[in-house]
Amino acid sequence: MKEINELLDISYKNLEELKKKLGDLDNVHQDILDLKDAAIAGKESSDKIPKEFQKKFDDIKLLSEKYLKDIGISTNIYFDGNNKLFEQNQTDFKNKINDLHTKNEDLQDKISLLEIQIKKLSEIDLEGGFRELQDTLANIFKSINDINITLTQITQSLNGIVQTVGVLQNSINDGFKKTKEDIEKHLTKQDNDADKNNEFLINKIQLLSDHNALLKKEIKKNRIIKYVGFGLAALIILIYLMIKNI
Protein backbone atom coordinates (compact mmCIF):
# COMPACT_ATOMS: atom_id res chain seq x y z
CA MET A 1 0.00 0.00 0.00
CA LYS A 2 2.91 2.37 0.66
CA GLU A 3 4.11 2.07 -2.94
CA ILE A 4 0.57 2.63 -4.23
CA ASN A 5 0.15 5.78 -2.12
CA GLU A 6 3.46 7.13 -3.44
CA LEU A 7 2.33 6.57 -7.04
CA LEU A 8 -1.00 8.24 -6.29
CA ASP A 9 0.85 11.23 -4.79
CA ILE A 10 2.91 11.47 -7.98
CA SER A 11 -0.27 11.32 -10.06
CA TYR A 12 -1.86 14.09 -8.00
CA LYS A 13 1.26 16.26 -8.37
CA ASN A 14 1.25 15.74 -12.14
CA LEU A 15 -2.45 16.60 -12.15
CA GLU A 16 -1.80 19.87 -10.31
CA GLU A 17 1.05 20.70 -12.69
CA LEU A 18 -1.23 19.98 -15.65
CA LYS A 19 -3.90 22.28 -14.19
CA LYS A 20 -1.28 24.98 -13.74
CA LYS A 21 -0.15 24.65 -17.36
CA LEU A 22 -3.74 24.83 -18.57
CA GLY A 23 -4.28 27.90 -16.41
CA ASP A 24 -1.29 29.55 -18.07
CA LEU A 25 -3.27 29.59 -21.32
CA ASP A 26 -5.27 32.51 -19.92
CA ASN A 27 -2.05 34.50 -19.96
CA VAL A 28 -1.27 33.18 -23.43
CA HIS A 29 -4.45 34.87 -24.67
CA GLN A 30 -3.01 38.26 -23.84
CA ASP A 31 0.32 37.23 -25.35
CA ILE A 32 -1.50 36.36 -28.58
CA LEU A 33 -3.20 39.73 -28.66
CA ASP A 34 0.15 41.44 -28.05
CA LEU A 35 1.80 39.38 -30.80
CA LYS A 36 -1.11 40.13 -33.12
CA ASP A 37 -0.81 43.87 -32.51
CA ALA A 38 2.95 43.65 -32.91
CA ALA A 39 2.55 41.71 -36.15
CA ILE A 40 0.13 44.33 -37.49
CA ALA A 41 2.60 47.02 -36.52
CA GLY A 42 5.38 45.08 -38.27
CA LYS A 43 7.38 44.52 -35.11
CA GLU A 44 6.88 40.73 -34.80
CA SER A 45 6.28 37.93 -37.26
CA SER A 46 2.74 36.52 -37.26
CA ASP A 47 4.28 33.04 -37.55
CA LYS A 48 5.24 33.31 -33.90
CA ILE A 49 1.57 33.09 -32.80
CA PRO A 50 0.93 29.42 -33.69
CA LYS A 51 4.46 28.54 -32.53
CA GLU A 52 3.70 29.98 -29.10
CA PHE A 53 0.49 27.98 -28.95
CA GLN A 54 2.27 24.85 -30.18
CA LYS A 55 4.89 25.20 -27.42
CA LYS A 56 2.22 25.51 -24.74
CA PHE A 57 0.29 22.61 -26.23
CA ASP A 58 3.40 20.40 -26.30
CA ASP A 59 3.94 21.10 -22.59
CA ILE A 60 0.33 20.18 -21.82
CA LYS A 61 0.48 17.06 -23.98
CA LEU A 62 3.73 15.91 -22.32
CA LEU A 63 2.26 16.35 -18.84
CA SER A 64 -0.97 14.61 -19.88
CA GLU A 65 0.92 11.61 -21.25
CA LYS A 66 3.05 11.44 -18.09
CA TYR A 67 -0.11 11.67 -15.95
CA LEU A 68 -1.84 8.91 -17.93
CA LYS A 69 1.29 6.73 -17.71
CA ASP A 70 1.42 7.15 -13.91
CA ILE A 71 -2.26 6.24 -13.68
CA GLY A 72 -1.59 3.11 -15.77
CA ILE A 73 1.31 2.08 -13.52
CA SER A 74 -0.79 2.65 -10.39
CA THR A 75 -3.65 0.61 -11.84
CA ASN A 76 -1.36 -2.29 -12.80
CA ILE A 77 0.18 -2.37 -9.31
CA TYR A 78 -3.30 -2.38 -7.80
CA PHE A 79 -4.18 -5.40 -9.96
CA ASP A 80 -0.91 -7.32 -9.39
CA GLY A 81 -0.50 -6.73 -5.64
CA ASN A 82 -4.08 -7.05 -4.42
CA ASN A 83 -5.69 -9.62 -6.74
CA LYS A 84 -6.99 -11.89 -3.97
CA LEU A 85 -8.38 -8.97 -1.99
CA PHE A 86 -10.16 -7.54 -5.03
CA GLU A 87 -12.00 -10.82 -5.78
CA GLN A 88 -14.60 -10.06 -3.09
CA ASN A 89 -15.37 -6.63 -4.57
CA GLN A 90 -14.46 -7.40 -8.18
CA THR A 91 -17.61 -6.08 -9.83
CA ASP A 92 -17.61 -2.66 -8.14
CA PHE A 93 -13.86 -2.19 -8.55
CA LYS A 94 -13.94 -3.28 -12.20
CA ASN A 95 -16.71 -0.76 -12.95
CA LYS A 96 -14.67 2.04 -11.40
CA ILE A 97 -11.55 1.04 -13.36
CA ASN A 98 -13.58 0.91 -16.58
CA ASP A 99 -14.99 4.33 -15.75
CA LEU A 100 -11.45 5.59 -15.16
CA HIS A 101 -10.31 4.20 -18.53
CA THR A 102 -13.31 5.81 -20.22
CA LYS A 103 -12.50 9.18 -18.68
CA ASN A 104 -8.84 8.81 -19.69
CA GLU A 105 -9.89 8.10 -23.26
CA ASP A 106 -12.24 11.06 -23.13
CA LEU A 107 -9.38 13.23 -21.87
CA GLN A 108 -7.18 12.06 -24.75
CA ASP A 109 -9.98 12.89 -27.20
CA LYS A 110 -10.24 16.36 -25.68
CA ILE A 111 -6.47 16.84 -26.01
CA SER A 112 -6.60 15.72 -29.64
CA LEU A 113 -9.43 18.18 -30.22
CA LEU A 114 -7.34 20.87 -28.55
CA GLU A 115 -4.49 20.17 -30.98
CA ILE A 116 -6.85 20.54 -33.94
CA GLN A 117 -8.16 23.81 -32.56
CA ILE A 118 -4.65 25.16 -32.10
CA LYS A 119 -3.69 24.27 -35.67
CA LYS A 120 -6.77 26.09 -36.89
CA LEU A 121 -5.88 29.28 -34.99
CA SER A 122 -3.68 30.53 -37.80
CA GLU A 123 -6.57 30.15 -40.24
CA ILE A 124 -9.49 31.54 -38.24
CA ASP A 125 -10.33 34.61 -36.23
CA LEU A 126 -8.18 34.57 -33.08
CA GLU A 127 -10.88 35.93 -30.78
CA GLY A 128 -13.51 33.43 -31.93
CA GLY A 129 -11.01 30.59 -31.95
CA PHE A 130 -9.84 31.38 -28.46
CA ARG A 131 -13.41 31.32 -27.16
CA GLU A 132 -13.86 27.87 -28.71
CA LEU A 133 -10.52 26.84 -27.23
CA GLN A 134 -11.66 27.99 -23.79
CA ASP A 135 -14.72 25.74 -24.08
CA THR A 136 -12.44 22.82 -24.94
CA LEU A 137 -10.19 23.63 -21.98
CA ALA A 138 -13.23 23.74 -19.71
CA ASN A 139 -14.15 20.24 -20.90
CA ILE A 140 -10.59 19.09 -20.22
CA PHE A 141 -10.74 20.53 -16.70
CA LYS A 142 -14.03 18.68 -16.16
CA SER A 143 -12.49 15.41 -17.38
CA ILE A 144 -9.50 15.91 -15.06
CA ASN A 145 -11.80 16.55 -12.12
CA ASP A 146 -13.81 13.42 -12.99
CA ILE A 147 -10.58 11.40 -13.04
CA ASN A 148 -9.58 12.88 -9.69
CA ILE A 149 -12.99 11.92 -8.22
CA THR A 150 -12.67 8.40 -9.64
CA LEU A 151 -9.20 8.00 -8.08
CA THR A 152 -10.63 9.13 -4.75
CA GLN A 153 -13.48 6.61 -5.06
CA ILE A 154 -11.00 3.82 -5.85
CA THR A 155 -8.92 4.76 -2.79
CA GLN A 156 -12.07 4.78 -0.63
CA SER A 157 -13.07 1.37 -2.02
CA LEU A 158 -9.64 -0.05 -1.15
CA ASN A 159 -9.85 1.38 2.36
CA GLY A 160 -13.33 -0.14 2.70
CA ILE A 161 -11.99 -3.52 1.60
CA VAL A 162 -9.15 -3.36 4.14
CA GLN A 163 -11.59 -2.38 6.90
CA THR A 164 -13.97 -5.20 5.91
CA VAL A 165 -11.13 -7.72 6.06
CA GLY A 166 -10.16 -6.40 9.50
CA VAL A 167 -13.72 -6.68 10.80
CA LEU A 168 -14.03 -10.19 9.35
CA GLN A 169 -10.75 -11.24 10.98
CA ASN A 170 -11.90 -9.86 14.34
CA SER A 171 -15.22 -11.69 13.99
CA ILE A 172 -13.41 -14.95 13.23
CA ASN A 173 -11.10 -14.46 16.23
CA ASP A 174 -14.03 -13.64 18.53
CA GLY A 175 -16.00 -16.64 17.24
CA PHE A 176 -13.04 -18.96 17.71
CA LYS A 177 -12.46 -17.65 21.23
CA LYS A 178 -16.14 -18.04 22.18
CA THR A 179 -16.30 -21.54 20.66
CA LYS A 180 -13.19 -22.55 22.58
CA GLU A 181 -14.64 -21.19 25.83
CA ASP A 182 -17.96 -22.99 25.21
CA ILE A 183 -16.16 -26.28 24.52
CA GLU A 184 -14.06 -25.90 27.67
CA LYS A 185 -17.19 -25.15 29.74
CA HIS A 186 -19.00 -28.12 28.20
CA LEU A 187 -16.09 -30.49 28.88
CA THR A 188 -15.78 -29.21 32.45
CA LYS A 189 -19.51 -29.76 32.99
CA GLN A 190 -19.23 -33.26 31.52
CA ASP A 191 -16.34 -34.06 33.88
CA ASN A 192 -18.31 -32.77 36.88
CA ASP A 193 -21.40 -34.75 35.83
CA ALA A 194 -19.27 -37.87 35.33
CA ASP A 195 -17.77 -37.47 38.81
CA LYS A 196 -21.24 -37.09 40.32
CA ASN A 197 -22.52 -40.13 38.40
CA ASN A 198 -19.54 -42.22 39.50
CA GLU A 199 -20.07 -41.22 43.11
CA PHE A 200 -23.78 -42.06 42.83
CA LEU A 201 -23.02 -45.47 41.29
CA ILE A 202 -20.45 -46.25 43.99
CA ASN A 203 -23.01 -45.39 46.68
CA LYS A 204 -25.63 -47.56 44.96
CA ILE A 205 -23.22 -50.47 44.66
CA GLN A 206 -22.27 -50.14 48.32
CA LEU A 207 -25.95 -50.01 49.30
CA LEU A 208 -26.71 -53.11 47.21
CA SER A 209 -23.70 -54.89 48.74
CA ASP A 210 -24.92 -54.11 52.27
CA HIS A 211 -28.44 -55.21 51.37
CA ASN A 212 -27.09 -58.45 49.85
CA ALA A 213 -25.08 -59.20 53.01
CA LEU A 214 -28.19 -58.61 55.12
CA LEU A 215 -30.20 -60.99 52.90
CA LYS A 216 -27.52 -63.66 53.25
CA LYS A 217 -27.73 -63.36 57.04
CA GLU A 218 -31.55 -63.63 56.93
CA ILE A 219 -31.39 -66.69 54.66
CA LYS A 220 -28.87 -68.38 56.95
CA LYS A 221 -31.07 -67.65 60.00
CA ASN A 222 -34.15 -68.99 58.20
CA ARG A 223 -32.31 -72.22 57.34
CA ILE A 224 -31.37 -72.76 61.00
CA ILE A 225 -34.98 -72.19 62.08
CA LYS A 226 -36.15 -74.58 59.37
CA TYR A 227 -33.75 -77.32 60.51
CA VAL A 228 -34.76 -76.85 64.17
CA GLY A 229 -38.45 -77.04 63.17
CA PHE A 230 -37.88 -80.26 61.24
CA GLY A 231 -36.00 -81.73 64.23
CA LEU A 232 -38.75 -80.83 66.69
CA ALA A 233 -41.41 -82.27 64.38
CA ALA A 234 -39.49 -85.53 64.05
CA LEU A 235 -38.97 -85.74 67.81
CA ILE A 236 -42.69 -85.19 68.48
CA ILE A 237 -43.65 -87.88 65.98
CA LEU A 238 -41.16 -90.28 67.54
CA ILE A 239 -42.51 -89.64 71.07
CA TYR A 240 -46.08 -90.07 69.79
CA LEU A 241 -45.27 -93.44 68.25
CA MET A 242 -43.53 -94.63 71.39
CA ILE A 243 -46.51 -93.66 73.58
CA LYS A 244 -48.93 -95.30 71.19
CA ASN A 245 -47.07 -98.62 71.29
CA ILE A 246 -47.11 -98.70 75.05
Domain count, the chain: 1
Provide mean pLDDT across the span 36-49: 55
Q: What phi and psi, each to the nearest 5 degrees, are found at residue 47?
A: -65, -20
For 121-138, give the DSSP string: TTTS-HHHHHHHHHHHHH
Using the predicted structure, report yes or no on whether residue 43 has a pLDDT greater than 60: no
Q: Are 67 and 11 in contact (CB under 8 A)?
A: yes
Instruction: Output the pLDDT for position 70.
Output: 64
- 42 assigned to some structural domain: yes
Between residues 131 and 93, the one the model is more confident about: 131
Q: What's the average model confidence in pLDDT over 155-166?
A: 79
- pLDDT value at residue 73: 64
Q: Which residue has the higher pLDDT, 85 or 193?
A: 193
57 lies in some domain: yes
Residue 192 lies in a domain: no
* Residue 159, in any domain of the structure: yes
Is 56 in contact with 28 (CB distance < 8 Å)? yes
Report if pTM > 0.85.
no
Is the residue at 113 inside a domain? yes
Does residue 145 fall inside a structural domain?
Answer: yes
111 within some domain: yes
Q: Provide the CATH number for the domain around residue 106.
A: 1.20.120
d(CA 7, CA 116): 32
Mean pLDDT of 60-82: 63
213-240 pLDDT per residue, tens: 777 777 777 676 666 666 666 667 777 6
Compute φ and ψ for 207, nearest 5 degrees: -65, -45
DSSP letters, 160-192, are HHHHHHHHHHHHHHHHHHHHHHHHHHHHHHHHH
Give residue 118's domain range: 2-182
Per the domain annotation, does 146 fall within a domain? Answer: yes
